[in-house]
């Protein structure tokens, strides 16, 4: 009995299970519609242009040459003046006190430096307590830094705390033009419909492992596994055959979710099918491997169900699949599989660079590889028990 024969038998069983088909193909589409529509008003998904207050910026100007002229030209650019008001201070101590008392929102120190020197210019920016003001200034200041060929150093100012500076890229040459280009950062935000299309896709693909585990227990109870072993069929062939059947169902499920979300709900995935297919395949395979481990570890189906349900819901929750909580996602979620699956697809949606997208996919592949090795080392226990 070949792996493909077992897979075809599994596909036939899944096709005849109408309840399973409704759960796999109808439920995720309905959830995307309900969550995407009802939560689109949340602030995190608002893409309308918001009114940004003018940021009060304190400046300590120590340079008297070309850098000072370039900086002053930048501060007088009408696009900069629209978002920032600058006030000069005599020294760093005075600026620190103003920031601590929140009389200014952001600080910039322009040190004395010879523009002709080959040493990089170290411009210092100090964040205040307003995250929106910090983001506004860092977005604009980035272009001044790149134009001048300077090193921007950023520090989070906290009362009675020493400031540590973080250097970025250094360039020794200085642009000869007097003006400074100010622009906006690249990239897109995602809508609620886009976000929940990704999270629901990842969550339901993870349930593939639960369905696989249920199938293994059913075959164990009706002695189908025993008959296949007596055929004789090797345990790894049985495991791979049943996994292949569920893997194909998972890929079809992913295709249906992506197709309906794109052409019915108008969700823009902004990426190639290759990335979507690769991420979906990794999540399905990882889920199947976890299901194989669960079947070998737990003696009865009810315990396995409880374990898989708890694992899936917990991992999706800390990954931001239900509610966006950045602090939890960045502290706990980064250690979960759904996080990197969602991150890969969201990075692609937001138009981030291919390097960043592939980095997330690589991390997902690494985790999947480790779980796959462990599961296949212990696969005999799941088949022969």
CA distance 100 to 123: 20
Neighbours of 352 (CB within 10 A): 18
What per-residue confidence (pLDDT) applies to 222? 86
* CA distances from residue 103 to 99, 100, 131, 344 in whole angstroms, order as listed: 6, 8, 15, 41
Mean pLDDT in order along the chain per 10 residues (385 residues): 84 83 88 82 52 82 81 86 90 84 85 57 75 78 65 39 35 31 41 90 94 90 83 85 94 95 89 90 96 91 93 93 82 91 89 83 95 91 80
Nearest 5°: phi and psi at 363? -65, -40
Tokens of 56: 């009060």
Q: Which residues contact 145 (CB under 8 A, 6 or more apart)?
A: 123, 151, 152, 168
Decide: helix, strand or coil at residue 341: helix
Greatest Cα pair distance, the chain, in angstroms, is: 89
Bridge partners (DSSP) of residue 74 are none
DSSP conformational letter for 166: B
Decide: helix, strand or coil at residue 379: helix
What per-residue confidence (pLDDT) applies to 119? 52
Measured torsion, CA atoms of residues 187, 192, 194, 199, in degrees rounded to the nearest 10 = 110
Residue pair 333/318 in contact by the 8 Å Cβ criterion: yes
* CA distances from residue 262 to 69, 201, 267, 321, 343 in whole angstroms, order as listed: 51, 13, 5, 19, 19
Q: Is 219 left (phi over 0), alpha (psi -120 to 50) or beta?
A: alpha
Decide: helix, strand or coil at residue 160: coil
What per-residue confidence (pLDDT) applies to 330? 79
Q: Compute the chain's Rg from CA coordinates.
A: 28
CA 129 to chain centre: 26
């Amino acid at each position: 009995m070949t792996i493909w024969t077992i897979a075809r038998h599994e596909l036939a069983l899944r096709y005849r299970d109408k309840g399973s088909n409704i759960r796999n193909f109808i439920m995720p589409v309905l959830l995307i519609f309900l969550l995407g529509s009802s939560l689109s008003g949340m602030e995190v998904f608002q893409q309308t242009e918001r009114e940004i207050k003018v940021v009060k910026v304190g400046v300590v100007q120590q340079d008297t040459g070309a850098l000072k002229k370039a900086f002053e030209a930048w501060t007088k650019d009408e696009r900069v003046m629209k978002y920032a008001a600058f006030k000069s201070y005599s020294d760093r101590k005075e600026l620190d006190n103003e920031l601590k008392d929140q009389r200014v929102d952001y600080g910039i120190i322009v040190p004395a430096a010879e523009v002709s020197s080959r040493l990089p210019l170290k411009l210092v920016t100090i964040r205040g307590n307003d995250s929106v003001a910090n983001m506004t200034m860092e977005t604009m200041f980035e272009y001044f830094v790149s134009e001048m060929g300077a090193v921007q150093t950023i520090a989070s100012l906290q009362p009675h705390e020493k400031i540590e500076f973080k250097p970025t890229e250094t360039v020794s040459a200085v642009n000869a033009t007097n003006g400074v280009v100010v622009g906006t950062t690249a990239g897109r935000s995602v809508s609620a419909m886009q976000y929940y299309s990704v999270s629901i896709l990842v969550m339901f693909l993870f349930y593939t492992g639960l369905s696989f585990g249920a199938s293994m227990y059913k075959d164990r109870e009706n002695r189908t596994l025993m008959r296949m072993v007596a055929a004789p069929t090797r345990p790894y062939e049985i495991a791979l055959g049943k996994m292949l059947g569920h893997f194909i169902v998972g890929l079809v499920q992913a295709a249906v979710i992506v197709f309906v979300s794109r052409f019915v709900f108008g969700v823009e995935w902004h990426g190639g099918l290759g990335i979507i297919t690769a991420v979906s395949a990794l999540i399905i395979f990882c889920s199947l491997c976890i299901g194989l481990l669960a079947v070998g570890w737990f003696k009865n189906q009810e315990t396995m169900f409880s374990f898989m349900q708890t694992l899936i819901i917990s991992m999706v929750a800390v990954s931001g699949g239900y509610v966006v909580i950045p602090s939890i996602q960045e502290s706990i979620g980064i250690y979960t599989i759904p996080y990197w699956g969602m991150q890969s697809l969201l990075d692609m949606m937001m138009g981030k660079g291919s390097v960043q997208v592939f980095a997330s996919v690589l991390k997902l592949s690494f985790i999947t590889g480790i779980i796959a090795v462990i599961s296949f080392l212990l696969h005999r226990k799941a088949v022969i028990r």
